[in-house]
Structure 1
Amino acid sequence: MIRSALATCLCLALVGPAVAQSPADAARAAMAQLEEATQKLDDAESARDRVRALTEAVQAFETGLAAMRDGLRVASIRETELRRDLDARDAEVTRLLAALSALGASASPQSFVHPDGPVGAARAGLLMASVTPALSEAAADLRADVEEATVLRQLQQDAADTLRLGLSGVQSARTALSQAMADRTDLPRKFTEDPVRTALLIAASETLDGFASGLTQISEGETEIDLPEIRDRKGALPLPVAGEVLRRAGETDAAGITRPGVLIATRPRALVTTPAAATIRYRGPLLDYGLVTILEPEPDILFVFAGLETVFGETGQVLPEGSPVGLMGGPEGEPDDILSPSGERTGAALSETLYIEVRQGETPEDPLGWFADDKGMTE
């Protein structure tokens, strides 16, 4: 079902010249990614391989559905423009149809007899010889506009059922991924969390700074696990989630609060992954940040992800690069959410927010200095 749902999404994204080429390219890429992920899932012999394949399948679905939304938004806007133009030209269309009816299918300059005799007839013939092609061209343009509007309307009607199938497919893939993460036992563990110390640290911390500085106190039995260095990849790491930068580091929000991290607007239930291999230093609720995951890709560097609804993994585990960290909140989505161009243009689809903070030692750094601007971004 996963493959067939995205295949249908791809077909709709490619329909008609009115749909932008970029959504079609994105849909093709998503289809290829899904095919590859499905083959990997069939060939998976370990929990790690299964998690990786399911992660790629979820990401392919998200890309494909986003491409379909973009294509349908373009189609809907174009259909609205055509309808408005046709309505505005109603009087013109009426006059055009009346003129064409008067001419008849076999009208020609020779068929007109003028009361002023041969000279008047000749003048009338010359006039109609110049008018008739223009009338025919206007009629052809009108017919093309009406046909295009009809095709676009049918496209949007068919999209509802297709989107339901796609949403069902991505939901199934997310459920399977959540189960695969829960069943996974092959991840190395760098340390074991001390729940008592964790609770005491949370109670004693009034800020994220204070909590982050005390993270090493809530572990026991730490072992050395070598992870690839990421300092030389600074500025090239992929963003952990697809979305748009809503607020940059140091910008003040509506409540007058200034934070050193960035806020990413995402779609509901979007998948969040780790941009590099990292140890889970903490996962759970924290202060006013909601559900938080703190990753340590290497000593003295922390990635903080806040605003998740579901988190994967256990504190102390070491996640490979690209592993799922959690899911954003929000409803699964309904087909009607994307069939109106206004909803997409006002940002209604990007209803969830992920807060990302990067800390080196005890100093916060601008996360966008670590992540590539064109990775994981939409639009």
Structure 2
Amino acid sequence: MASYACPYYAGRADLSCQTNSCRTSLPSRINTGEKMLRILLIVFLFMMLPFSVGAEQPPVPPRKTDLGTIQKNLEQEKQTRQALQTRLKDVKKELDSTRSELVKIAENIQSNENELALLEKRIARRQIEEKALTEKLEQNYGTIADLILALERIRRIPPESLIVRPGAPLQTAQSAMLLQSTLPAVNKRAKDLSADLEHLGALKKGLEADRTAALTVKSQQKGQYASMQSLVKKRENLYSTIQKDYEQNKQRVAKLTQESKTLMELINRLEKEQQTRQMAKTAPVYASLPEKGVSRLPVSGSLIEPYGHRNAIGATSQGVTLEAAPGALVVAPMGGVVRFSGVFKNYGNMVIIEHKNGYHSLIAGLQRIDAQPDHQIKSGEPIGQLPLTSSRGGQPALYYELRLNGQPVNPASAFSELKT
């Protein structure tokens, strides 16, 4: 029994043995193949690595060349920036010189305006005097002519004929006495007439001289205005060179105008915005407040409405109204920075200038404005002109307010011309 082996089971045993053997050797073969594939893949990747790195990264020599180019460009940018800064200093220097020239021309123009106003007043006064004297002479012409004619007739009569004339000698003596008492009065009237005629001749000569002088002054003014306009244009061009946000300023001012309902609110908004811009360091460097300089009235004219005056409707004036010649030049009353220029409510064309120590000047009633926001202004520098005509009749007028910390104050405290 023990040696007996069944062929069936024996075959099964061999088959099982073979099967187990195959099961044991197959995973090892698979593992060996995978290892070979991995090795080949790694070798392939190492072979391709230099080409991929070379395609993605530039070689070292070009990198050195690019760094040199960058350094050269940076040096050029530095030189360009220095040139621009130098140009900016030159522009500011030229701008300051231009503004000083404008102040001088404005002084000459206003001096000529004053002289012309005096000439026109003197011409008007002499014309009235000439008319009155001419009418007086015309009234006396008839009486004096009759008297002279009578005296001429008497002169032609010889004294001897008077004795033999009909009538008593007493009548002749009375006539002689009458003539003797009348002659001094006639002589006086004749002398007065001669003096009036001489005075009339002098008046006519004076009028002619004044009219000639007025024409000369007007001709000078025409040339001065042309020079001033040329300098104003130059000033604006220089400002535009250093002010790149000109359009933004215009839009900003227009927005503030729309949002402000009153003048007080507008000034408060301007001050608040300026403080915000200074804190943010976005305000132009040339927009800092300069010295106020010598105070002067913005226009050459006469005071027609003082500070605190009540008008026809009972409103109290918070400023002064100055009457001036048609088209008169308007200048900055003190040095400062223009904070507003444009139309505002019923003030019309208006300019607001901020001065040091919390002061603001408000100038309204202009026909043309020659000043822009954020521009520095010297005392006496032109900022515009008055209209040629007045809607209320008579001479054009300018309205001026001086404010301290937003509140109106009497301008007489700053301008001696307004003190009474």
- Same topology, TM > 0.5: yes
Secondary structure class of the residue paired with 1:358: strand
The residue that corresponds to 1:76 in the other structure is: 127
The CA distance in 2 between the partners of 1:110 and 1:127, in whole Å, is: 19
Could you tell me the TM-score, scaled by structure 1's length? 0.69
The residue that corresponds to 2:413 in the other structure is: 369
Q: CA deviation at 1:352?
A: 0.6
Q: CA deviation at 1:361?
A: 0.6
Give structure 2 stretches of 5+ with no counterpart: 1-95
Structure number with the higher helix fraction is 2
The residue that corresponds to 1:273 in the other structure is: 331
The CA distance in 1 between the partners of 2:162 and 2:291, in whole Å, is: 88
Aligned CA-pair RMSD: 3.7
> Letter of the aligned partner of 2:118 in structure 1?
A
Change (3 A) 1:291 1:102: same
The residue that corresponds to 1:321 in the other structure is: 379
The residue that corresponds to 2:403 in the other structure is: 359
Q: CA deviation at 1:238?
A: 2.8
The CA distance in 1 between the partners of 2:418 and 2:411, in whole Å, is: 14
Q: 1:135 aligns with which of 186, 203, 218?
A: 186
Change (3 A) 1:286 1:108: farther
Query: Cα deviation per residue 1:239-270 (whole Å; 9 max; x = unaligned)?
Result: 22122222233434456654412221111111
Q: 1:214 aligns with which of 269, 273, 276?
A: 269
The CA distance in 2 between the partners of 1:187 and 1:319, in whole Å, is: 12
Q: CA deviation at 1:101?
A: 2.4
The CA distance in 1 between the partners of 2:399 and 2:188, in whole Å, is: 56
RCO comparison, higher one (Cα < 8 Å, 6+):
1
Q: CA deviation at 1:285?
A: 1.4
Instruction: Return 302-311 or 365-374, whichever deviates more.
Output: 365-374
Instruction: Return 350-359 or 154-163, whichever deviates more.
Output: 154-163
The CA distance in 2 between the partners of 1:269 and 1:54, in whole Å, is: 16
Quick check: 1:246–1:263 contact (8 Å CA) kept in 2?
yes
The CA distance in 2 between the partners of 1:322 and 1:256, in whole Å, is: 34
Instruction: Return 95-104 or 68-77, whichever deviates more.
Output: 95-104
The CA distance in 1 between the partners of 2:160 and 2:209, in whole Å, is: 50
The CA distance in 2 between the partners of 1:49 and 1:66, in whole Å, is: 26
Q: CA deviation at 1:85?
A: 2.1
Please list, as runs of the form range in 1=range in 2, the aligned pairs for 1:136-155 lying within 5 A after superposition.
Answer: 136-153=187-204
The residue that corresponds to 2:254 in the other structure is: 199
The residue that corresponds to 2:117 in the other structure is: 66
The residue that corresponds to 2:107 in the other structure is: 56
The CA distance in 1 between the partners of 2:300 and 2:104, in whole Å, is: 18
> Letter of the aligned partner of 2:325 in structure 1?
R
Instruction: Return 52-61 or 350-359, whichever deviates more.
Output: 52-61
Quick check: 1:197–1:217 contact (8 Å CA) kept in 2?
no
Please list, as runs of the form range in 1=range in 2, the aligned pairs for 1:286-365 lying within 5 A after superposition.
Answer: 286-330=344-388, 351-365=395-409
> Letter of the aligned partner of 2:168 in structure 1?
D
The residue that corresponds to 2:168 in the other structure is: 116
> Letter of the aligned partner of 2:120 in structure 1?
R
The CA distance in 1 between the partners of 2:176 and 2:307, in whole Å, is: 74
> Letter of the aligned partner of 1:55 in structure 2?
A
The CA distance in 1 between the partners of 2:323 and 2:349, in whole Å, is: 16
Give structure 1 stretches of 5+ with no counterpart: 1-44, 332-346
Instruction: Tell which structure's C-alpha radius of gyration is larger.
Output: 2
